[in-house]
Each structure stands twice: as structure tokens, then as C-alpha cells.
Structure 1
Amino acid sequence: MKTMLKESYGLHASEFFKIKNYDAFRVHQTLCLIVPVSHIDEDELFELHSMSQYLQEKREPYTAVFLPTKQGALTAEKDGRKYAVLKCEQVGNRSSISAGRELAQFHQKGRSFPYQLTKSNRIGQWKTLWEKRLDQLEAFWRGKVQAHPLDQFEKLFIESFPYYLGLAENGIQYLVDTELDDEPKPIDSATICHQRFHSATWENQVFMKLPTEWVFDHATRDVAEYIRNEFLCLPEQHRETGYSFIEDYDRTTPLSSFSWRLIFSRLLFPLHYFECIEDYYLSADSGKPLYERKLNELLDRSADYESFLKSYSSMLSMRTRKISLPAVHWL
């Protein structure tokens, strides 16, 4: 890494440490992270670079930007892998502002991003992406059924998939109905979002907003994924933490009925189940026990997840008489 930094960036890093699982170093007062980006193509990296420059101009606090190489490129290569160096001049502890309020303010700035995006754009694409993912996993599942596996994880996958297939189809249908029945408002225009936003995305200790974690999408992507993660990681507190988060967000930027329905459709679609199955098959043998445990936990808590979905719609009807979510009758 030291050689790469010296040759490609003309930087001398004396010591490395870890932040968010990335190698980090300091140059004077600037904190830099070395982020692997082989999975992101050049056009998308350029779009992420444009977003980070824009938010920095808008004075969005703790925004990291790409440090170009001596040749002006966004990435450098080392052992056949691509890396970007992200630098953040303003680093510190998070203020006492709530995550819901801060995310709403982040989205407000991102909505005025003026350039056309293609590679990082996900707005209006949920249905297509979800259907593709569902079809791929269903085809994979059929192959496993015919192979009659003895492996415990695969048995659990075979038994549980039809239930989650039904849940996914409900999520897709709910999304389609929302787009047919409801009218988007200005709040529903695309903004800068995260691949997966949760309470640890903006860590308190060393607070940085990393463009390599962003996509351009509807703001409810971040809201829904935060709430989902609270359910998965804080089973005892999720109602309290998830709902105070959404209330803080809604108080800062009032959500439209279209937004509330999009959040519900995204929570109905069991992304956490899909990712657990996919991650199991993509991981090395040493990592597989982790996903076995995760799958067992998900299946043990499937009834809890149903009651969590039910409580979302009742929480909303208590908060406002003006918006009523169409019911999912089997819940």
C-alpha cells in the first residue's frame, strides 16, 4: 500500500490504522481511506465523484471526496485490484443531532443534484431489480430442490424459500399498486442515498460520509433499510429506535403518502433473507457458519417480522389520520 500511495499519489504514509474495515492514514490534518473499488465501473465512479464534489460544495459536513492520482485518475491499481483514496478534511464525533433529522437534511441537499446519472441511478427501478433477483433465486432454488441436498443450510433454504417468495411477490405488488394509485410529490424526486443505510453507516467515533456507499434513488430506500436493520439488530428496542428515527425524519422533511407506501413495500420485500442466502453461497467455507446462524435467526423470527410489518401500518394510522395504508390482509 505504501508503494502504491507513493507511486500513484505521491503520498508518504507513515502509519496505517483501520476505520470501517478500511486501511486509513493521515496526511497533515486530512484523514484518508483506501477503499477497494474493483466492483464499481469507471462511469459509476465518476458519477459518485460528481455527487461527492457537489455535496462538498453544498457544505454537507463530513463528506469524503476522491483524491485523484498524479495522472488525474480516480483509482490506482495494486496486484490486479482497483483502489480509490477518499479524503475527508473535516472529521470528528457526530453532533447530538438525531440520525433521522440528519438523514433528512442530507437528502434535501441531494435532491438538488443537477446532473443526469445513469450507472448509479436506481429511481423507478425497484420493480425490475426485485423481479430479476427473485427470478434468479427461484431458478437457483429449483436446482437445489432437484439435487436433494443433505446439507443443513440447503435444507433450510429449500423449506423456507416458498414463504419468502410469497413475501417478495407481496412487496412487488404493493409497489406496483402504489405507483398506480398514488401521486408522487416534490419530496419524492430522486436524491443521493446509500446502498444500505443503518445506524452504523455514520459511525459516531470517526464520522465520514463515503461516496463509494451511495446510489441515486428515492429517499425511502434509506429510511426503510434503517428500520429493517433496527428490527434485525435490536430485537428488543427496534420499535422505539426505528419509530423515533422515522418521526425525526418526518418532522424535518414531511413524507408523502407515496413515500409511506414505498417504505412499506420495501419492508415487505425480504431483502434480508435474499442477502443471507446469496452471501452464504458467495462466501468462503470459513464464512459459511455465520450465514447458517443468520438464516436460523431469520427463520426463528419470521412471525416477529410479520408483527413488525403489521405494527408499521398501525403506527402510521395513529400518527396521521390523513394517510391510510392499504392493508395486506394475510398479515
Structure 2
Amino acid sequence: MAGADWPAVAGRKYRLQKEDTAHARFFFQPLHHFYHRNLEVLADIADNLALGTIPVCRMFRNRENQYVTEVDGVPSVLMSLPDENRHPSLPLGTALADFHRRTALQDTQRFPESPVAGRTSEWVGRIDALAKKYTEIQTKKQTDFFEQRLLANFPYFSGCAENAIQLGVDTFIDHSYGETAVIGHFRFSGSESLYPENPAFWVADDRSRDLAEWLRMLAWTRSGPDQEAAAESFLNDYEARFPLTDPLAAHLFSRLLFPLSFLECCERYFSGSDREDRQLLEETIRANEEKAGNIESMLAFLTKRYANRFEAPEWLASGGTR
């Protein structure tokens, strides 16, 4: 949609003001890219953030006072990029904390797609589905490379999933008041997610979502003292602005413990991937196997940092298995 002739479409279907077009760079975002479909609320949040220091893409109504316009047969939303100069030089943890504080939600009823209330049950369903596939493969006489790696690693990763799910259940029982949701990101990838913010990729969830994604990224790209130093710096910067509560510390740990990358890789493989995609997925399942020790090191760091705020699985507290 970035290549669509927005001036021609805008001239016919939009009534833009001069202040909107003076320095703006417009693009059409396909509606199916949006995680949440309450465009009215997303636009309001974006407009409020734009009044501050957070660079955010804004959304525009058409002449029918609607956000959705069909462009070349694709339902789309006209959006504008923020000024490139509005890029505050803040540490990543500080910038993320500021964004979460500015977008705290009183409730998530306006975002029915939010996973915040049903995350544990979703995890159970997904790991159970993969367990059935694992059982099927055990009965096969011949297996391909990917299936062999699944057979070798599923017991370990399913154990991680079970521990993550149990911690989630225990945390809900111990802290039944829940945790305030914020606007987070479908898949937080550092400064690329923050500059600029794009409402299409926002997810109403608790703060541990973004934090766990970044710590997982650090665990995959760093090791040893460098990994722990990077994680500590990130969390120190974040918590200086927005400290973690006890249930959030537990949620962060359980999210990182849950083998999301391994599960997504297997789901994608068994959904019917083409040959080129399968090669990438074979590399990914091998990488999950190789990086498991790094994830355990990150979990050990969190256990130490948030000592006595949640109960880590005994096998991790005693040094892990990888």
C-alpha cells in the first residue's frame, strides 16, 4: 500500500486540511494489518500521543467520516508518518516505559481481541495441539529432518510450557486483582517498534509482553556477562520510570519460559509450508535447540533479580538442563 497513489485517492475520498498535508508523508495501511479493529479508539490514542513527545503515525477519516477506504480493492486506512526530527534520544527501556505509562488502559473492553485475559488458556490449546502432532510422528516409520528435531526437543519445550502455564495459573490465584493493561506491540523489536509507533501493530496487553520479547531477543543475540549486562541495563532504565509489580515480574518470567519461538516454528511448518520456507523453518527449529541454554541463563537472571517475588521451577533454580 505504500506505493498507492495517495494524492489521487485523497483528492477524491478525503477532505484534508493544509496543516495535515504541509509536511506529512502519507501511506495506506491495509485494514488486515491491524491487530485491533476499534479504529476510533486507536486514532484517539494516536492523536493524544502526537500532542506529546512520542512520534506516532496518525489516522485520517475520509469524506464519509470513516477510517476505512477501499484502495485498489483493499480496505485500507490513510495514515501519516510523524516528523523524522521527533525522535527523542532516550534509552530503549526508558522510551518503552514512557510509552506504556502514556497508554495505560482502564479496561480492555474496547479491544475484544486483547489476549490479556485468555493467555494461559491459549497456551494450553496450542501446546496440546502440538503434543498431538508429536504423538503422530512417534508412530511414523520415516521422519524428515524437522520431525526428527521435534521428536528430540518436544519433551524439553513442552516441559517449559507446562511450567509457564502453571506459573500463570498460580499468579492469577495469588493476585486475582489482575494487572493494568497498556498498549503494547504485536512483536516488540526495539527502537524499530517505537520510532515511529504504528497503531496497526498495537496490542492491548499487560506490560510483560514487550519486556519478554526484548529479553528473548537479547537471549538469542548475546550470551554470558554481555547478555546479563544488557538485560539489567534495559530493565533498570524501564523500572526507573515504571516499576514492575510482583505479578508482572511473574508474567515476565512465564512469558520468557514459554517456548513461543519453538511453538510458532512448528505451527508454521505443519500448516503446509513451501520448500523454501521449510528450509528456513529447519534452521529455526535448530536455532531454538541451540539457544535454549541462553534462554535458561536469562531466566536465571530474572530469578535472581526478582528473588522472592515469584516461585521459579526447581529445575531452573538449580541450574537448568541445557
* Corresponding residue of 2:287: 297
Q: Deviation at 1:4?
A: 5.7
* Corresponding residue of 2:16: none
Whether the aligned pair in 2 keeps the contact of 1:66 and 1:87 (CA below 8 Å) is yes
Once residues 301 and 200 of structure 2 are traced to their aligned partners in structure 1, the CA distance between those partners, rounded to angstroms, is 34
Across the two proteins, how many residue pairs are aligned to each other?
Answer: 307
CA pair 151-216 structure 1, distance change in 2 beyond 3 A: same
Moved more, 275-284 or 257-266: 275-284
Whether the aligned pair in 1 keeps the contact of 2:55 and 2:86 (CA below 8 Å) is no
CA pair 329-223 structure 1, distance change in 2 beyond 3 A: same
CA pair 257-69 structure 1, distance change in 2 beyond 3 A: same
Q: Deviation at 1:42?
A: 7.8
Once residues 200 and 252 of structure 2 are traced to their aligned partners in structure 1, the CA distance between those partners, rounded to angstroms, is 24
Once residues 75 and 240 of structure 1 are traced to their aligned partners in structure 2, the CA distance between those partners, rounded to angstroms, is 45
- Alpha-carbon RMSD: 3.0
**Is 1:277–2:271 an aligned residue pair?**
no
**Equivalent position to 2:45, from 39, 44, 51:** 51
Q: Deviation at 1:131?
A: 1.6
Once residues 67 and 113 of structure 1 are traced to their aligned partners in structure 2, the CA distance between those partners, rounded to angstroms, is 25
User: Counterparts of 1:69-88 in structure 2 under 5 Å?
Assistant: 69-78=62-71, 80-88=73-81
**Is 1:286–2:271 an aligned residue pair?**
no
CA pair 41-89 structure 1, distance change in 2 beyond 3 A: closer
**Equivalent position to 1:307, from 297, 314, 318:** 297
Read off the aligned partner of 2:93 and give its amino acid letter.
G
CA pair 43-214 structure 1, distance change in 2 beyond 3 A: closer
Q: Deviation at 1:296?
A: 0.9
* Corresponding residue of 1:256: 245
Q: Deviation at 1:48?
A: 3.0
**Is 1:330–2:315 an aligned residue pair?**
yes
Once residues 50 and 160 of structure 1 are traced to their aligned partners in structure 2, the CA distance between those partners, rounded to angstroms, is 46
Q: Deviation at 1:91?
A: 2.6
TM-score by length of 1: 0.80
What SS class does the counterpart of residue 96 from structure 1 fall into?
A: coil
**Is 1:267–2:248 an aligned residue pair?**
no
TM-score by length of 2: 0.82
Moved more, 120-129 or 275-284: 275-284
Read off the aligned partner of 1:327 and give its amino acid letter.
A
Q: Deviation at 1:66?
A: 1.7
Q: Deviation at 1:259?
A: 1.4
CA pair 27-155 structure 1, distance change in 2 beyond 3 A: farther
* Corresponding residue of 1:14: none
Q: Deviation at 1:35?
A: 2.9
Read off the aligned partner of 1:251 and give its amino acid letter.
A
**Equivalent position to 1:89, from 75, 82, 91:** 82
Q: Deviation at 1:173?
A: 0.2
* Corresponding residue of 1:210: 198
Structure 2 unaligned spans of 5+? 13-19, 317-322
The 4+ residue runs of structure 1 with deviation greater than 6 A are none
Which has the higher relative contact order, 1 or 2, with Cα contacts under 8 A spaced 6 or more apart?
Answer: 2
* Corresponding residue of 1:224: 212
How many percent identity over aligned positions? 25
What SS class does the counterpart of residue 76 from structure 1 fall into?
A: strand
**Is 1:9–2:2 an aligned residue pair?**
no
CA pair 328-68 structure 1, distance change in 2 beyond 3 A: same
What SS class does the counterpart of residue 25 from structure 2 fall into?
A: strand
Which whole-Å deviations, capped at 9, do the CAs of 1:249-270 have from their partners, x for residues lacking one? 1111121112111111111111
Which whole-Å deviations, capped at 9, do the CAs of 1:254-311 have from their partners, x for residues lacking one? 2111211111111111112112223344554323222211211111222332232122
**Is 1:193–2:184 an aligned residue pair?**
yes
